[in-house]
Amino acid sequence: MKIDPAQVEEVARELYVRALKILPPDIKRGFARLDATETDATAKKVLGTMITNIRVAEETENLLCQDTGIPIYNVTIGRGVEIAGTELRDAIRRGCERATREHPLRSSVVHPITRRNEHTSCGAGVPPIHVDFCDEERLVIEMIPKGSGSENNSWLKMAVPADGVNAIKTFVIDCVLEAGGKTCPPTIVGVGIGGTSDLCMALAKRAATRPLGTSCADPEGAALEASLTEAVNGLGVGPQGLGGDSTAFAVHVEIAATHITMNPVAVNMQCHSARRASASFTRAGVEYGF
């Protein structure tokens, strides 16, 4: 299956705008669930405003949140997909630039030292493009605009084996307390466990951006997700840090094997505007989804 770079560019442009405007159905269901169970009056009002905003964004075809984020593209390349890697990369970047210029969107991306904004949402190493593989004959591009309020609350701890799983649990609780309202709760708390330091952080990001209702493939990780979700929501931080039961939609865990001497844990959060969009290229054409 040959993939036309021009079509990739068009899809990369469209995905950025779609992700910023339409919240995925699993997140909407997450809101409905929290709204139904929240017991705090202020929290209930805050959730109500967030739900209204989702509707207003769709009705006015406006962005859900002003933060256009750091654009992230996750690419899954299936069997028999033909496109040069460099052409794929360059097409995604052009699509991201075009979305920024043509919509227009606020470019939230600057040089880290000069702080210069090129007004393209692009720069050295940005957008990050992560590549994975699958067996089916398809190319999937997922786009995630990662807002800074949640991204600024990211932590890594290189705990040691002697600290065991207790270190992981304590770290997650302390990160949620430290984040307070700064991450725009209710959040998805992404927890990476194991790997190297960089892999651990990447796992946390993957966990934070995983659809609600999905579980960690590892049963130990899945059990931890359930107990930590309950624990986090018992803290009372609440939506926007103003108190209440709805601190997190869920705690998600992703794991990787690690070294005999290591016990790394990372936390990355996704705000309530948990935006993502995806497109799947098959022989039948391009299909947009979440």
Partner 1 sequence: MTHHVLHMPVSEAQARALKVDDTVTIEGALFGIRDANQIALFDKGRTTRFDMRGHAAIHTAPNVRKIPPSSEHPTGYAPICVGTTTSARMERFTRPLMEKLGVRILIGKGGLGAGSLAAFAELGGAYLAIIGGTAALETTWIEAIEDVDLDDLNPESLWKFRVRGFGPLLVAMDSHGGSLYDAVDRKARGRRANTLARLGVK
Q: From the CB of 70, what's the least distance to partner 1, in Å? A: 14
Residue 169 is a binding residue for partner 1 (CB under 8 A): yes
Residue 50 is a binding residue for partner 1 (CB under 8 A): yes
Shorter beta-carbon distance to partner 1: residue 180 or 211:
180
The single residue among 28, 44, 106, 130 that binds partner 1, judged by CB under 8 A, is 106
Per-residue x/- mask for partner 1, residues 180 to 219, rule CB under 8 A? xxxxx-----------------------------------
The single residue among 272, 276, 279, 280 that binds partner 1, judged by CB under 8 A, is 272
Binding to partner 1 (CB under 8 A) within 2-41 occurs at none
Shorter beta-carbon distance to partner 1: residue 63 or 88:
63
The stretch near partner 1 (CB under 8 A) out of 81-89, 130-138, 143-151, 205-213 is: 143-151
The single residue among 152, 198, 220, 289 that binds partner 1, judged by CB under 8 A, is 152
Shorter beta-carbon distance to partner 1: residue 239 or 264:
239
User: Which residue from 28, 98, 100 is spatially nearest to 57, judged by alpha carbons?
Assistant: 28
The stretch near partner 1 (CB under 8 A) out of 51-59, 72-80, 198-206, 259-267 is: 51-59
The single residue among 46, 72, 207, 216 that binds partner 1, judged by CB under 8 A, is 46
Which tokens belong to 63?
Answer: 């962005």
User: Which residue from 199, 179, 197, 198 is spatially nearest to 189, judged by alpha carbons?
Assistant: 179
Residue 120 is a binding residue for partner 1 (CB under 8 A): no
Q: From the CB of 173, what's the least distance to partner 1, in Å? A: 6
Shorter beta-carbon distance to partner 1: residue 138 or 252:
252
Contacts with 160 (C-beta within 8 Å, 6 or more apart), sequence order? 167, 261, 262, 263
Residues that bind partner 1 (CB under 8 A): 42, 46, 49-50, 52-53, 56-57, 60, 62-68, 103-108, 115, 117, 147-149, 152, 166, 169-170, 173-174, 177, 180-184, 227-228, 231, 234-243, 271-273
